[in-house]
Amino acid sequence: MRIDVLTLFPEMFEGVFSSSILGKASEKGIVTLNTVNFREYSENKHSTVDDYPYGGGGGMVLKPEPVFSAVEDLLSDGGSEEDSPRIILMCPQGETFTQAKAEELSRQRRLILICGHYEGYDERIRRYLVTDELSIGDYVLTGGEIPAMAVIDSVVRLLPGVLGNEQSAVTDSFSTGLLEYPHYTRPPKFRDWEVPEVLLSGHHGNIAQWRRKQALYRTWKRRPDLLKNRSPDKLEEQWLKEFEQGQFPD
Ligand code: SAM
């Protein structure tokens, strides 16, 4: 996969792209991460990329020319139809980013993310350039850089070969449609708090069942909205009834 990020602050990505899972994925050649400072595509001598909004009002607006030119330059390196990238505008008005969206994007060969700044984008960028608009939540940040980092991290960790078995994403919260079950490690007793006996039993079937019930309970308690589109099997139906009746697992 190749990911290009259009930003006015490429230095913000240096640490993130070279550390932890993203750093390792780049080193292994699984992903190529690249930043483009679209100020370099400004057509005026002061290198400005923003201008006053037509109609007046506060705040500056990102001009269309530098953003279009930077994307078109990236696309001019050819590539097959298959490589035709998703062009993603980071934007609080976009579709809310989810694990399902991360999974969908992880199946693409190429992504281009556009980070805004200032009050907004010239609407022609939104209408005629991008394929997706993504928001990381209902709050407003100063720029699209931190949202872009969140999206890139969650996509790259899903690429085959990026996570080892010990960090598998398969049971991560949301991947299964549920929040993840609780974890414990040594010691078996810390202060007065003991690890649930079943986890020390070595009985794989019972452990799997305990985890499943815990994941369902945690989701029911914290994020019941996630259960709305779920078709529970018989066992889950029975557990959900128990929770409704106030019978909770330890
Ligand atoms: N005036 C804009 C509005 O009300 O929609 C907000 C602009 S915000 C200060 C500047 C930039 O930060 C946006 O263009 C976008 O790139 C980024 N941004 C801010 N919050 C975001 C969010 N929740 N998700 C994704 N990007 C966000």
Is the pLDDT reported for residue 171 higher than 70?
yes
Q: Which of 63, 90, 114, 117 to mutate to test the pocket of ligand 1 (most atoms within 8 A of CB)?
A: 90
Which residue, judged by its Cα, is nearest atom 1 of ligand 1? 119
Q: Is 135 close to ligand 1, i.e. is its CB under 6 Å away?
A: yes
77 pLDDT tier (thresholds 50, 70, 90): confident
Confidence of residue 82 (pLDDT cuts 50, 70, 90): low
State residue 173's pLDDT score. 84
Q: Is the CB of 152 under 6 A from ligand 1?
A: no
- The parent domain of residue 66 ranges over 2-156
Lowest mean pLDDT among 34-38, 73-77, 154-158, 222-226: 73-77
For residue 184, the domain's CATH number is: 1.10.1270.20
Annotated active-site positions, please?
92, 119, 157, 172
Q: In Å, how far are 189, 215, 235 from 249, measured between CA atoms? A: 19, 10, 14
Q: pLDDT tier at 176 (50, 70, 90 boundaries)?
A: confident
In this prediction, residue 64 carries a pLDDT of 97
pLDDT of residue 250: 85
Q: Are residues 109 and 224 in the same domain?
A: no
In a domain, 162, yes or no: no
Whether residue 219 sits in one domain with residue 121: no
165 vs 55, residue with greater confidence: 55
What's the pLDDT score for residue 59? 93
What average pLDDT score do residues 45-65 get? 95
Give the mutation target among 91, 112, 114, 126 for probing the ligand 1 site: most ligand atoms within 8 A of CB: 91
Q: Tokens standing for 196?
A: 């649930």
Mean pLDDT of 18-37: 98
Number of domains in the chain: 2
Q: Please report the atom of ligand 1 found closest to the CA of residue 93.
A: 5
For the cut 80, the answer to whether the pLDDT of residue 46 exceeds it is yes
Q: Which two tokens stand for residue 127?
A: 């209408």
Would the pLDDT of 24 be above 80? yes
Q: Is residue 164 part of a domain?
A: no
Looking at the fold, whether 132 and 187 belong to one and the same domain comes out as: no
Interval 150-175 mean pLDDT: 88
Pairing relationship of beta strands 50-51 and 61-62 according to DSSP bridges: antiparallel
- Clarify whether residues 119 and 177 are in a common domain: no
Q: What number does the ligand 1 atom closest to the CA of 142 have? A: 9
In the prediction, which pLDDT does 167 show? 62
pLDDT for 118 beyond 90: no
Statement: residue 165 has pLDDT above 80: no
Say how many Å lie between the CA of residue 140 and the centre of ligand 1: 5
Q: 114 and 22, same structural domain?
A: yes
Answer whether 140 contacts ligand 1 (Cβ < 6 A). yes
pLDDT band for 166, please (50, 70, 90 cuts): low
Ligand 1 atom at minimal distance to the Cα of residue 89: 16
Please state the rounded mean pLDDT for residues 102-121.
96
For ligand 1, is residue 53 a contact (CB within 6 Å)?
no
Q: Whose CA is nearest to atom 9 of ligand 1?
A: 142
